[in-house]
């Protein structure tokens, strides 16, 4: 097959193990036969006995040749092959067997150093390999390896059988002409039969692994997706059917009908089997029939006419919705009726006659009949009936098409009524109506009863218009007729008629008249007497002319405004007042020419009428920018007719009067203004408001066009625009041009007046200015800025204003300075507030992590307890302590430690809820307050998230650091209602977490509270012991086996507890390490050792004194420096002190440990490697370490004694002890044996050359006082 059937048709759920032999059935058959090829008869026998216990039948072959022959003769279920065999090697045997078609599973057994050969065996075809260790541990794992190999073999056999069955199944599929596919649960085609080429013209490989939804038409994809989902819900006895379009190789859509069956439980298939059939021809035929029926049904149902189909007896067969609506019936109800029943009772005989006539004639004439609706009312219809026959001419049924003509009947009645009403209406009008035919001849007329026509109109019937109208009016009539016929629009004209005493005016309207078929039938002429209107229009024209002359020739300005403020009419005097042309002003609104402060005052209000009148003063701006003071008197008028009200305003220039008034009041105003401005300035503390107030005051007083204030920047020594009015092109904050008068005034600090500006080099900000005055703003000899006024009217600036401006400038300078001082003080207050906020934050937050500190946490906890009591909610307190964090500080330094704490704080924030509170209590301790929950699971979930987050690596300083944490939890209200109790109980639970192995959380448990409290108290007592000097040193002597002399002492720590008595270190060292006290205890030991050394020396005893260093103490970065400071401070002799370190101290960082040992040796100290041989021994590093002594672990010495139950242990311990002694001798090291307690141990150690022994055989550990007595009692006291 072209598709790789074996890989594609097996479903994803196929379990080849279903065809294997289940392990549990094997208990009923023969045991598994195993052949073990091994030349070591003892080892082979031992393995045979071990495997027999597991139910295996084992035969032994001493070499490879015999083993191959036994395989050929007997056949075995599994072969165990040792690599080293006398005749053929294990690899040669495997290569020979794997060339056969069917061979049993092969397991290679190699020595401890032959892993590479084992890998080569696997590559050659071995099922697995086992490395033989010296302790025989591989015996225990071998049965598991054998079972795995047998299971794999059974699976391979089953898979081969399944593949054979699969090939037979595929042959059946491929020989079928029907397309077959297999789909997985996602609708992906995992198998496609080759018949797809015949069905769709597409190769199977092009469809394989595609989604079914990809192959079908986009509109059919929901069907494809649904068919997969529906099939998955069925069992194999049922199938789902579907039809959709698939594109073939010719790019045409083919309709495919599919049947899908769920065969996921069939291991050969493992999917949905789908059979496909091309039904395009059938679907096309069905669609054609359906389309034809749909078109007929659409026409039938959507027809505007009612359609009824009946049989030859009048029984209704089908009716459309229009018919049902027209007669008020339900469609289904009408199918129970007859045609005769639709007529009125009196007309039913006529309906029967119509049916009878249809039997003779195919059609009957269209007729108007009346039918009866469901509510009993009648409806007039227009009916058309026809007889429908089949292909043979036989009658099938009668079809009747009916149209409701109720509206037409009603319209005809309305038209008749309308014509009568029109005639009555025309006769009631004052107008004369004349009707002309197409030839222009009068055919009828209507005139009101009160008509005062001078002639009788009836005598003009049949005549043309010239017989009725005078010649000039007839000519106008003819022109109107021509326009009417050309344009089709109504035409009007007026004409005068001279009488003996006066002139009459008539208005004539011409329109086309149409007949019932909407065709032109003549002209309708309406004539009306409009003499009164003409007389009124003449009077209006005369009044308008008089108004125009008064408006245009008035010596003062006159304007007319509409409601939008637009200037509709302007007289010459107003144009001259402002210096604009009429055309320029017509483009503006009144507010455009008004002074900014006065804009919006003159407007047409909503309640204005023709009786409205008011007057006001208003400042206007000339085209030059000069301000003009005016008096405006305005009244409401009807301008241009209509109901809209406009304003007629008379505008008088009162600028000279205002100036005169200003001069009279100026001195009084200046005094009042100075008093007011001083008060206002003193109350204004914002610079911008001071500048605005000053500008407005100067503008109001001087009436100039431009005022600006510049502020002096002492840093850059430039003037910047602070505030201004009418300085186009300049913005606030912009640097003033260097040529301004303000620069000169700022430089000289003297006020200046320039009355003829164009003749000077000064550059004004107001381009039309011809005069300017500028005064400095000075306070306490410090320049603040300048105040400058510019105008194009030189008379507005005179020397009399100097004094006023100087005083104003002085007040302004003080106000600006005060505002600056106020702003500065506000800035200082803001900074002080920020400082207080920072201090508050620092008081309640940890400086390193920015988390809340202990104080804030305790306050928050108290508040949360009160709120929880009110809300009846729960709280949890989580006490978090980092495990072994001190090692990071000691080994990597506090900078790295601080970085770790910051990352811990960040992870705590990320893994707690929004309303939870996280705090750092100090050191590596953190607290979390979990609030507002209903079950303990919420808080426990938070604790689990925290533990998981803190276990992740910490990438700091280009390295990954690993850390964990322990958590203790207490709950409100179950554990306590008091914050201090909750904290204490969380701490107690934390202690339990530490004791249980760390990296977990514990919830406070009252059952353990006593024990936890005892442990907690024990830790506190340990701290007190250090503070109260409760620790003591005991010493155990070390004896030289060659001389019998005491050469050294090992210092051993004891705790003289006031109640417990003498406590051994094993009871408290772990607690001390958890509490971080080992460093302090180690310092105490070195200090006491140095003191005891001096005391013994004073008595004449100078032995070497050994002291053990804890791993955590040795790993501290400053260990060597701290040790040396203590020895130096206590005047100790380093040459007689030996530092004992364990092999575990070297494991974390060998290079750092090596360096520290070199430093200790450099100080004169001796180094002993303690507990050597306890399990961590590595011979590789011994030659690199700066050590003097090997101390064998006491467990080796203890196991040297004769042991009846395990003689091998005794032999092995003695062999290891002998090897360590030999190793020490070869490396030039002294060897010390600890824990020597009997003569047998002593003899063995002496025979094998051990240097020094220590143990109860020599002496038990002694206090310093007892040691003195013991040393004095010996015959010889060695001096080292």
- Residue 1236, both tokens: 């020597």
- Contact in structure between 594 and 602 (CB atoms under 8 Å): yes
Specify the pLDDT at position 800.
63
Cβ count within 10 A of residue 212:
25
C-alpha–C-alpha distance, residues 1030 and 1054, integer Å:
9
C-alpha–C-alpha distance, residues 1158 and 1168, integer Å:
13
- Contact in structure between 1141 and 1169 (CB atoms under 8 Å): yes
Give 553's contacts (C-beta < 8 A, 6+ positions apart). Answer: 571
C-alpha–C-alpha distance, residues 1147 and 1154, integer Å:
11
C-alpha–C-alpha distance, residues 1153 and 1135, integer Å:
21
Which CATH number is associated with domain 1039-1051+1078-1273? Answer: 3.20.20.450
Q: For the domain 179-285, what is the CATH superfamily, name and number?
A: PAS domain (3.30.450.20)
Q: Do domains 303-410 and 1039-1051+1078-1273 have the same CATH topology?
A: no
C-alpha–C-alpha distance, residues 1192 and 1175, integer Å:
11
Helical packing angle, 90-98 and 64-74, nearest 10°: 30
Which contiguous run of DSSP H or E holds residue 1070?
helix 1069-1074
C-alpha–C-alpha distance, residues 202 and 212, integer Å:
15
Cβ count within 10 A of residue 659:
16
Residue 219 DSSP code: G
Handedness of CA 1265, 1267, 1269, 1271 (dihedral sign): negative
Q: What is the pLDDT of residues 167-188, one digit of tens each?
A: 666 665 665 667 888 999 898 9
Using CA atoms of 927, 933, 934, 937 in order, give the dihedral in degrees to the nearest 10.
-50
Give 206's contacts (C-beta < 8 A, 6+ positions apart). Answer: none
C-alpha–C-alpha distance, residues 1153 and 559, integer Å:
107
Give 359's contacts (C-beta < 8 A, 6+ positions apart). Answer: 312, 395
- Residue 1110, both tokens: 């804890």
Specify the pLDDT at position 14.
36
Residue bearing tokens 């004409």? 495
Identify which of 144, 80, 157, 94 has the alpha carbon closest to the alpha carbon of residue 122. Answer: 94
C-alpha–C-alpha distance, residues 1030 and 543, integer Å:
129
Which contiguous run of DSSP H or E holds residue 957?
none
Which CATH number is associated with domain 6-162? Answer: 3.40.50.2300
Which CATH number is associated with domain 554-653? Answer: 3.30.450.20
Identify which of 708, 721, 738, 726 has the alpha carbon closest to the alpha carbon of residue 767. Answer: 726
- Residue 95, both tokens: 């290569």
C-alpha–C-alpha distance, residues 1256 and 819, integer Å:
93
Which contiguous run of DSSP H or E holds residue 907?
helix 894-910
Q: For the domain 664-827, what is the CATH superfamily, name and number?
A: GAF domain (3.30.450.40)
DSSP class per residue in 1162-1176: HTT-EEEEEEETSS-
Residue bearing tokens 């109901």? 643
Which CATH number is associated with domain 429-530? Answer: 3.30.450.20
C-alpha–C-alpha distance, residues 657 and 185, integer Å:
102
Tell how far CA 1271 is from the center of its chain.
80
Specify the pLDDT at position 860.
93
Buried b / exposed e along 559-571 (16+ C-beta atoms within 10 A): bbbbeebebebbb
DSSP class per residue in 770-825: SEEEEEEEEETTEEEEEEEEEES-GGG--THHHHHHHHHHHHHHHHHHHHHHHHHH
Find the DSSP H helices in 525-599.
531-553, 572-578, 582-586, 590-593
Specify the pLDDT at position 19.
34
C-alpha–C-alpha distance, residues 707 and 790, integer Å:
6
Find the DSSP H helices in 429-470.
none
Give 68's contacts (C-beta < 8 A, 6+ positions apart). Answer: 88, 93, 96, 97
Q: Strand pairing partners for 1172?
A: 1192
Residue 389 DSSP code: E
Identify which of 987, 972, 954 has the alpha carbon closest to the alpha carbon of residue 879. Answer: 987
The CB-side HSE value for 170 (13 A sphere, CA atoms) comes to 23
Could you tell me the fold of the domain covering 850-1004? Alpha-Beta Plaits (3.30.70)
Extents of the domains making up the chain: 6-162, 179-285, 303-410, 429-530, 554-653, 664-827, 850-1004, 1039-1051+1078-1273
Three-state DSSP class for 950? helix
- Contact in structure between 1221 and 1231 (CB atoms under 8 Å): yes
C-alpha–C-alpha distance, residues 816 and 785, integer Å:
10
Specify the pLDDT at position 29.
60
- For residue 1142, whether the previous peptide bond is cis, meaning omega lies within 30 degrees of 0, is no
What pTM, to 2 d.p., does this model score? 0.33
C-alpha–C-alpha distance, residues 521 and 85, integer Å:
134
C-alpha–C-alpha distance, residues 712 and 742, integer Å:
10
- Residue 816, both tokens: 């600006």
C-alpha–C-alpha distance, residues 225 and 147, integer Å:
45
Own/partner long-range contacts of 1155-1162 (Cβ < 8 Å, ≥24 apart)? 1156/1114, 1156/1119, 1156/1120, 1157/1185, 1157/1186, 1157/1187, 1158/1186, 1159/1120, 1160/1120, 1160/1123, 1160/1186, 1161/1186
C-alpha–C-alpha distance, residues 124 and 96, integer Å:
10
Strand residues in 1075-1118 grouped as ranges (E)? 1104-1108
C-alpha–C-alpha distance, residues 742 and 709, integer Å:
9
Residue ranges of the chain with per-residue pLDDT less than 50: 1-28, 454, 1204, 1276-1280
Could you tell me the fold of the domain covering 303-410? Beta-Lactamase (3.30.450)
């Amino acid at each position: 097959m072209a598709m790789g059937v074996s890989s594609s048709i097996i479903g994803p759920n196929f379990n080849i193990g279903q065809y294997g032999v289940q392990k549990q059935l094997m208990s009923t058959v023969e045991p598994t036969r195993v052949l073990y090829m091994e030349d070591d008869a003892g080892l082979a026998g031992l393995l045979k006995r071990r495997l027999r216990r597991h139910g295996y039948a084992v035969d032994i072959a001493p070499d490879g040749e015999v083993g191959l022959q036994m395989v050929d003769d007997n056949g075995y279920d599994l072969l165990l092959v040792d690599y080293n065999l006398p005749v053929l090697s294990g690899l040669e045997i495997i290569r020979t067997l794997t060339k056969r078609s069917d061979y049993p599973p092969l397991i290679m057994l190699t020595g401890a150093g032959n892993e590479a050969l084992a890998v080569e065996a696997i590559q050659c075809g071995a099922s697995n390999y086992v490395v033989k260790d010296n302790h025989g541990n591989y015996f225990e794992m071998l049965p598991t390896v054998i079972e795995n190999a047998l299971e794999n073999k059974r699976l391979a056999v089953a898979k081969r059988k399944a593949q054979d069955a699969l090939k037979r199944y595929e042959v059946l599929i491929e020989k079928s002409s029907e397309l077959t596919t297999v789909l997985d649960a996602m609708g992906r085609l995992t198998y496609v039969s080759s018949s797809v080429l015949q069905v769709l013209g597409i190769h199977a490989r092009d469809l394989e692994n595609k989604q079914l939804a990809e192959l079908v038409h986009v509109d059919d994809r929901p069907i494809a997706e649904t068919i997969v989902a529906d099939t998955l819900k069925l069992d194999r006895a049922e199938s789902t059917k579907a039809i959709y379009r698939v594109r073939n190789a010719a790019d045409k859509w083919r309709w495919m009908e599919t049947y899908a069956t769920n065969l996921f439980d069939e291991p050969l298939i493992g999917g949905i089997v789908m059979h496909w059939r091309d039904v395009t021809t059938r679907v096309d035929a069905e669609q054609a029939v359906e389309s034809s029926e749909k078109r007929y049904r659409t026409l039938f149902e959507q027809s505007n006419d009612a359609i009824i189909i009946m049989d030859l007896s009048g029984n209704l067969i089908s009716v459309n919705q229009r018919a049902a609506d027209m007669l008020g019936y339900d469609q289904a109800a009408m199918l129970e009726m007859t045609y005769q029943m639709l007529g009125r009772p009196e007309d039913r005989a006529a309906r029967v006659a119509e049916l009878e006539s249809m039997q003779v004639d195919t059609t009957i004439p269209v007729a108007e009949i009346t039918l009866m609706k469901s509510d009993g009312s009648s409806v007039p219809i227009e009916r058309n009936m026809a007889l429908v026959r089949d292909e043979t001419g036989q009658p099938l049924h009668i079809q009747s098409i009916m149209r409701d003509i109720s509206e037409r009947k009603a319209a005809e009645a309305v038209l008749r009524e309308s014509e009568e009403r029109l005639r009555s209406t025309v006769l009631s009008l004052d107008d004369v109506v004349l009707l002309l035919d197409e030839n222009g001849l009068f055919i009828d007329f209507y005139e009101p009863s009160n008509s005062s026509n001078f002639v009788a109109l009836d005598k003009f019937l049949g005549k043309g218009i010239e017989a009725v109208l005078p010649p000039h009016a007839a000519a106008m009539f003819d022109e109107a007729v021509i326009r009417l016929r050309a344009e089709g629009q109504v035409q009007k004209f007026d004409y005068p008629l001279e009488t003996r005493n006066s002139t009459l005016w008539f208005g004539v309207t011409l329109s086309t008249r149409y007949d019932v078929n909407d065709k032109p039938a003549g002209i309708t002429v309406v004539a009306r007497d409009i003499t009164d209107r003409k007389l009124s229009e003449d009077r209006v024209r005369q009044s308008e002319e008089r108004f125009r002359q008064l408006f245009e020739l008035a010596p003062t300005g006159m304007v007319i405004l509409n409601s939008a403020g637009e200037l509709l009419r302007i007289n010459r005097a107003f144009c001259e007042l402002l210096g604009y042309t009429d055309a320029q002003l017509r483009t503006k609104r009144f507010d455009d020419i008004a002074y900014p402060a006065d804009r919006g005052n003159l407007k047409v209000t909503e309640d204005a009428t023709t009786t409205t009148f008011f007057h006001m003063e208003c400042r206007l701006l000339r085209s030059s920018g000069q301000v003009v003071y005016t008096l405006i008197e305005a009244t409401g008028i009807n301008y241009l007719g209509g109901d809209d009200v406009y304003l007629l305003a008379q505008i008088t220039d009162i600028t000279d009067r205002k100036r005169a008034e200003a001069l009279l009041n100026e001195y009084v105003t200046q005094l009042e203004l100075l008093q007011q401005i001083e008060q206002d300035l003193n109350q204004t503390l914002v610079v911008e408001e001071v500048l605005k107030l000053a500008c407005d005051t100067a503008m109001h007083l001087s009436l100039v066009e431009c005022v600006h204030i510049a502020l002096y920047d002492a840093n850059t020594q430039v003037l910047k625009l602070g505030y201004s009015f009418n300085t186009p092109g300049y913005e606030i904050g912009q640097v003033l041009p260097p040529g301004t008068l303000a620069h000169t005034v700022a430089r000289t600090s003297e006020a200046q007046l320039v009355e003829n500006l164009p003749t000077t080099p000064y550059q004004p900000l107001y381009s039309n200015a011809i005069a300017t005055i500028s005064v400095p703003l000075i306070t306490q000899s410090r320049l603040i800025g300048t105040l400058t006024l510019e105008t194009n009217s030189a008379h507005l600036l005179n020397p009399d204003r100097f004094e006023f401006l100087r005083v104003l400038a002085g007040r302004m300078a003080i106000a600006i300075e005060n505002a600056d001082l106020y702003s500065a003080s506000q800035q200082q207050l803001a900074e002080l507030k920020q400082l207080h906020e920072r201090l508050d934050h620092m008081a309640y937050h940890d400086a390193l992590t920015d988390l809340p500190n202990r104080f804030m946490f305790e306050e928050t906890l108290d508040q949360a307890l009160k709120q929880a009591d009110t809300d009846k909610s729960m709280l949890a307190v989580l006490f978090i302590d980092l495990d072994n964090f001190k090692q990071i500080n000691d080994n990597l330094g506090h900078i790295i430690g601080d970085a770790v704490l910051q990352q811990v704080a960040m992870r705590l924030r990320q893994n707690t809820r929004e309303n939870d509170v996280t705090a750092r209590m100090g050191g590596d301790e953190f607290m979390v307050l979990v609030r507002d929950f209903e079950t303990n699971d919420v808080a426990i979930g938070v604790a689990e998230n925290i533990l998981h987050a803190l276990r992740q690596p910490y990438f700091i300083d280009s390295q990954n650091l690993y850390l964990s944490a322990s958590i203790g939890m207490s709950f409100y209200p179950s554990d306590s209602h008091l914050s201090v109790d909750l904290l204490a109980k969380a701490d107690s639970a934390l202690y339990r977490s530490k004791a249980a192995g760390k990296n977990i959380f514990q919830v406070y448990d009252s059952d353990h509270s006593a024990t936890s409290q005892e442990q907690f108290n024990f830790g506190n007592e340990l701290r007190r012991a250090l503070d109260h000097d409760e620790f003591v040193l005991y010493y155990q002597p070390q004896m030289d086996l060659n001389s019998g002399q005491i050469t050294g002492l090992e210092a051993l720590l004891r705790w003289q507890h006031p109640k417990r008595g003498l406590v051994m270190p094993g009871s408290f060292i772990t607690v001390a390490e958890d509490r971080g006290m080992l460093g302090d205890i180690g310092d105490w030991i070195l200090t006491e050792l140095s003191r005891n050394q001096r005391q013994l020396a004073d008595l004449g005893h100078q032995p070497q004194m050994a002291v053990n260093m804890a791993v955590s103490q040795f790993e501290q970065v400053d260990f060597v420096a701290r040790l040396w400071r203590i020895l130096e401070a206590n005047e100790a002799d380093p040459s007689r002190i030996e530092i004992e370190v364990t092999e575990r101290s070297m494991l974390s960082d060998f290079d750092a440990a090596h360096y520290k040992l070199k430093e200790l040796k450099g100080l004169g100290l001796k180094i002993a490697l303690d507990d050597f041989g306890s399990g961590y021994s590595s011979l590789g590093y011994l030659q690199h370490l700066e050590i003097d002594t090997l101390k064998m672990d006491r467990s080796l010495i203890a196991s040297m004694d004769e042991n009846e139950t395990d003689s091998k242990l005794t032999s092995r311990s003695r062999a290891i002890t002998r090897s360590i002694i030999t190793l020490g001798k070869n490396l030039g090291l002294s060897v010390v044996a600890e824990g020597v307690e009997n003569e047998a141990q002593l003899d063995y150690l002496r025979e094998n050359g051990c240097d020094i022994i220590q143990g109860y055989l020599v002496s038990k550990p002694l206090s310093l006082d007892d040691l003195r007595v013991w040393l004095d009692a010996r015959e010889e006291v060695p001096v080292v």
